[in-house]
Amino acid sequence: MIQQIKTKARRIMVTGGAGFIGSNFVHHWSQQYQDDRLIVLDALTYAGNRATLGYLEERENFCFVKGNICDRNLVDRLLQEEHIDTIAHFAAESHVDRSILGPGAFVETNVVGTFTLLEAFRQHWLSQGKPEDYRFLHVSTDEVYGSLEANDPPFSETTAYAPNSPYSASKAGSDHLARAYYHTYRLPTIITNCSNNYGPYHFPEKLIPLMTINILLGKPLPVYGDGQNVRDWLYVKDHCQALDLVIQKGTPGQTYNVGGNNEVKNLDLVNLLCQLMNELAPDLPVKPSQDLITFVKDRPGHDQRYAINASKIRTELGWTPQKTVEEGLKETIMWYLTNQNWWRPLLSTEYQAYYQEAYGQKFK
C-alpha cells in the first residue's frame, strides 16, 4: 500500500462520482479522509448508478447532487455554497463504440461540460483570492495519443496527440482546455491520462464485465477482429491511489500518465478471464467458457495498441501499480460473482439495443 500524504482538509466535488472510476475514487477518498466534505455531481445517465455510492449517503459530510456539468448555474451554486476547493473531474461519455454510433453527446459532455466546469471554477477561484492550494484534477485517457505499433515506445507525457475516435477526440479537446486554463489564467489544473481501467462497479458494456457476465449467462463472448489489439490494463483501485497522490503532491500545470504496466492482447485477456472463471465460478452453463469466444467484425478505427510510460508519476510522486492483471482479474471476478444484485438490473432494454447494434448480435 502506498503511503498517502494528507496536506490539508479538503472540500472536494467529484463529477461523475456515480460512474465507474469516479465511484471507486469516492469510496477511496471517503475511506482515507473521513473528515473531508465530499460532493458528488452526476447526471445519472446510463452508466451512472447512485446505488454504487451506498452507505456513503448516510454520512453528514457527503452530499449527492443529480445534475449536468453543462449547467453553469448549478455548478456556480455548488462551488459557492459548498466552498469547494478541489474538483476531481471524471464526468464523461466514455465508450468508444457509443461515440461511433452517436458522437454529439461526447462533444457536449466532454468538451462543453469541461469548459463549463473550468470557467466556473476559475471565477470561484478568483473570488476567493486565487488560493494556491485549490486544485482542478482533470481525469483523461491514453486514447488521446492515438495508436502504437508493436515496436513503438509507450506513450509519455510529451507524446503528440493523435485521437482516432470521436470519444478520444472529445477527450483530447477537454485536455487542451484544462492545459490552456493553467497557461492562460494560472488556474491550478492537473491532467492525468490513464490506461484501460477495470474492477468493481464497471458498466457491463465494457470488455471485462461484458465477458464476465456473458460467461455467467452462457452468452457469446464477442471479440473484435482477430483479437490481437493490445491494451495496458490498470486496476481501478491502483488508479485511485495515483489520483490521490496527484491531488496531494502533483504540480499544477503538469500532466501525469498512469499505467498498469500490464500490456495484454485482447484475445489473451479473454482467454485468461475464461480460465479464471472456469476456476472461480460454480455451475457455469458452458464449460470450458473458452467455447463461447466469437469473433465479430472489427470496429471502425480500432487502435492497435496502447501502452503507458508511467515513469514520471513513479519518480516524482512515488506511485507504482500494485496489482498484476491476474490478481486484479481475480478480485474483479469475485466482486461480480458476489454483487449480482448490482449488475443484473443494468441489463436493460436500452443496453440490449446497444449490444445488438455494436456487436451485430442479440444479448438475450
Show which residues are catalytic.
142-143, 167
Length, in residues, of the chain: 364
Collect all residues with Cβ–Cβ distance below 8 Å to 336 and sequence separation of at least 6: 209, 212, 213, 216, 343
Rounded-to-integer distance, Cα 166 and Cα 364, Å: 29
Contact indicator for 245, 2 with CB cutoff of 8 Å:
yes
Assign 3-class secondary structure to 83-135.
CCCEEEECCCCCCHHHHHHCCHHHHHHHHHHHHHHHHHHHHHHHHCCCCCCCE
Rounded-to-integer distance, Cα 196 and Cα 223, Å: 16
DSSP code of residue 154: P
Contact indicator for 227, 207 with CB cutoff of 8 Å:
no
- The answer to whether the Cα torsion of 206, 208, 213, 218 is positive or negative is positive
Rounded-to-integer distance, Cα 240 and Cα 249, Å: 14
- The answer to whether the Cα torsion of 67, 103, 221, 302 is positive or negative is negative
Rounded-to-integer distance, Cα 212 and Cα 337, Å: 9
Exposed, middle or buried: residue 65 (CB in 10 Å: 0-12, 13-18, 19+)? middle
Phi-psi region at 253: left, alpha or beta (left = phi > 0; alpha = psi -120 to 50): left
Which of these, 200, 250, 232, lies nearest to 88 by C-alpha position? 250
